[in-house]
Amino acid sequence: MPESEYSITAPDTFGTKAQATAWLAKQRTLIGEGKVNPTAIVTTFGEYASMWLAGRELKVSTRTLYTRQLSRALMPTWADVRLAEITPAAVRAWHATLLPGRPTERAHVYALLRTILGTAHRDDLIAANPCRVSGAGSTKRAKPIRPASLAELEAITAAVDERFRPMVLLGAWCALRFGEVTELRRADVDVTSGVLRIRRGVTWLTGAPVVDTPKTEAGSRDVAILPHLLPMLATHLRQHVARGPDALLFPLEEGQNVQLSPHRFRTPFNRAKAAAGRPDLTFHGLRHTGAVLAAASGATVAELMARLGHTTPTMAMKYQHAAADRDRVIADALSDLAVAARA
């Protein structure tokens, strides 16, 4: 673009004409070399991020999460910084002090910044994405999840309130997420065919229940119910679930039709876990338990993906590896028994 066809507005005023002239000459050089887009000189991250978020088709829960991450972790540092001034060194320095002790949230916030600036790069506003901190957008679980044994699962089920027993067992044996199981309604359960129809989930990012379809197409799925759970589930539907196809299986209170929140479930679940000697187990740990048991039963990666609602084989492979590790423990224990018998 010829120089006469655009104008450059300085981000600040200058003390002398010489300073202004030097700044303008530098910007023209950078623009001429294709290193800076004139728009990026005056567009702040806050302005661009707001436009970026407004222009995205997102699930309600995802939009809520991004809005929260922007306001709490990104805007305080970057809102007034112009896109052209966000450098790799600045990003690295910011990341070094970001959310200490909260590695998962830290990774997600960094990934959001990287995504937004990646779009700015594709929009030709910046020459390159300045988010270059190796591995910053991913995290490793601090402690591996230890699946519940069958005896522990039985003990937890026996100790939890009666109306929550099917919820615990469906979470484990059907490998459901908390938001999936607490949004199950009478119409989603086909006891005759032995199938759960997972079509929605509930999140609590705003402090109130937000119901939406699964994030991915794979999340919308039919899950076969284990035959030995069907009699208990039929009893639960008869004794604890209100009439009507929209009645929740596990409401906040019986007779209501408000979803059970993680906060309200915490007390009865903690009590049951303590009674079973597994205070460390989370509800997601129950899902992990079901996935590992399914893998141990011989389920293929594709079958695990379908049952758990995964879009990639990565997580399914983790469950298969966990099942293989557990099989090695069992083999070693059996070998010890054999050796002891010969002694």
Cα→Cα distances 220→125, 176, 215, Å = 38, 12, 9
User: Residue 3: what pLDDT?
Assistant: 43
Are the C-beta atoms of 131 and 113 separated by less than 8 Å?
Answer: yes
β-pair partners for 93: none
Q: Are residues 191 and 291 in the same domain?
A: yes
Q: What is the DSSP string of 239-296?
A: HHS-SSTT-BSSBSSTT---BPPHHHHHHHHHHHHHHTT-TT--HHHHHHHHHHHHHH
Q: For residue range 1-35, what is the model confidence (pLDDT) as tens digits?
A: 444 445 555 556 777 888 778 777 776 776 666 65
Q: Are residues 204 and 299 in the same domain?
A: yes
Question: For the chain, where are the E strands, in sequence order?
Answer: 189-190, 195-198, 201-203, 210-212, 221-224
Please report whether residue 42 resides in a domain. yes
Please report whether residue 142 resides in a domain. no
Q: Are residues 106 and 158 in the same domain?
A: no
Q: Are residues 99 and 192 in the same domain?
A: no
User: Residue 273: what pLDDT?
Assistant: 97
Range of the domain at 100: 3-122
Q: Are residues 164 and 276 in the same domain?
A: yes
What percentage of the chain carries pLDDT values higher than 90? 62
Please report whether residue 10 resides in a domain. yes
Residue 295 burial by Cβ neighbours in a 10 Å radius (0-12, 13-18, 19+): buried
Q: Among all residues, which ones are annotated catalytic?
A: 177, 284, 287, 310, 319
User: Residue 19: what pLDDT?
Assistant: 79
Are the C-beta atoms of 184 and 248 separated by less than 8 Å?
Answer: yes
CATH number of the domain within which 193 lies: 1.10.443.10
Q: Are residues 286 and 154 in the same domain?
A: yes
Please report whether residue 163 resides in a domain. yes
87 Cβ contact partners less than 8 Å away, ≥ 6 residues apart: 130
User: Residue 157: what pLDDT?
Assistant: 96
C-alpha to C-alpha distance for 70 and 75, rounded to whole angstroms: 6
Token code pair at residue 289: 């338990």
User: Residue 17: what pLDDT?
Assistant: 81
Q: Are residues 163 and 57 in the same domain?
A: no
Q: Are residues 51 and 187 in the same domain?
A: no
Q: Are residues 249 and 318 in the same domain?
A: yes
Please count the structural domains in the chain: 2
Please report whether residue 118 resides in a domain. yes
Q: Which residue has the tokens 């009507």?
A: 244
Q: Are residues 194 and 323 in the same domain?
A: yes
Q: Are residues 109 and 222 in the same domain?
A: no
Express the helix, strand and coil content of the chain in percent, nearest 5 each.
Answer: 55, 5, 35
Please report whether residue 139 resides in a domain. no
Please report whether residue 66 resides in a domain. yes
Please report whether residue 140 resides in a domain. no
CA dihedral 178→182→187→189, nearest 10 degrees, is 50
Q: Are residues 176 and 107 in the same domain?
A: no
Query: What parts of the chain have a pLDDT lower than 50?
Result: 1-5
Last residue of a domain, one of 104, 122, 140: 122
